[in-house]
A and B are shown apart, each in its own frame.
Chain A
Amino acid sequence: SAVISQKPSRDICQRGTSLTIQCQVDSQVTMMFWYRQQPGQSLTLIATANQGSEATYESGFVIDKFPISRPNLTFSTLTVSNMSPEDSSIYLCSAYSGLAGANEQFFGPGTRLTVL
């Protein structure tokens, strides 16, 4: 199994600023993803973080607002840019391991973001 850590665990930010969230997996994984959970809502996939190339964004999410990096197999960052109160959410990193026939999905503890 894999353990995912996220930094920061929570933050309170001013509108117009940006926050970068880090996601570290303790073992190599095949795929990494970023999700958003708005208050009282389900989880929505933001994008697939691709190693060494541009992330693949879901409809409604754009690179300028949510730039993502994945420099290697175990680390990814999500930046929430030019924040507004509507960006207040929990942001979750997820990893998938398809190695050796496994089909395991893991989630980080989330980053709780409040934008004032």
Chain B
Amino acid sequence: AQSVTQLGSHVSVSEGALVLLRCNYSSSVPPYLFWYVQYPNQGLQLLLKYTSAATLVKGINGFEAEFKKSETSFHLTKPSAHMSDAAEYFCAVSDMGDMRFGAGTRLTVKP
């Protein structure tokens, strides 16, 4: 079965600093990988997805993620954090719609 592990349940950065949220996957087949963001009391919003077309995936709000097969990783980055980036971030892996989520990482942005 496919799964993802998010390293770090809480990440705190200063405004303007690099954001790095870590995700490692386990899959017996080439994975489809996703990052979602969830703001308080709101639904899931897709940030980006990897479907094997390109290893560097650019998403919304300045986020991007790089698929590294050798490291089984799909870390999410943003060069400069904004206060509005404070939210819960979920990494997910999907096999024909059967999507499994990581535990989530809460991002705090300090002024």
| A residues apposed to B, CB below 8 Å | 30-31, 33, 41-45, 48, 92, 94-96, 98, 103, 105, 107, 109-110
Contact = CB atoms under 8 A, between A and B. Distances in A.
A103 B51 contact: yes
Contacts of B51: 103
B96 A96 contact: yes
B94 A45 contact: no
A43 B90 contact: yes
User: By CB atoms of chain B within 10 A, which of A42, A45, A96, A103 has the most?
Assistant: A42
Contact of A42 (B94, B96, B98, B102): B102
Interface of A, secondary structure class, is strand
Contacts, number: 45
Nearest to B91: A42
A94 B99 contact: yes
Contact of A105 (B34, B43, B90, B104): B34
Contacts of A94: 97, 99
Given A105-B34, A107-B43, A109-B43, A42 B101 contact: yes
A98 B94 CA distance: 12
Contacts of A41: 103-104
Interface in B45-100: 51, 90, 94, 96-100
Contacts of A31: 96-98
B18 interface: no
Contacts of B103: 41-42
A103 B93 CA distance: 12
Given A103-B32, A103-B51, A42 B99 contact: no
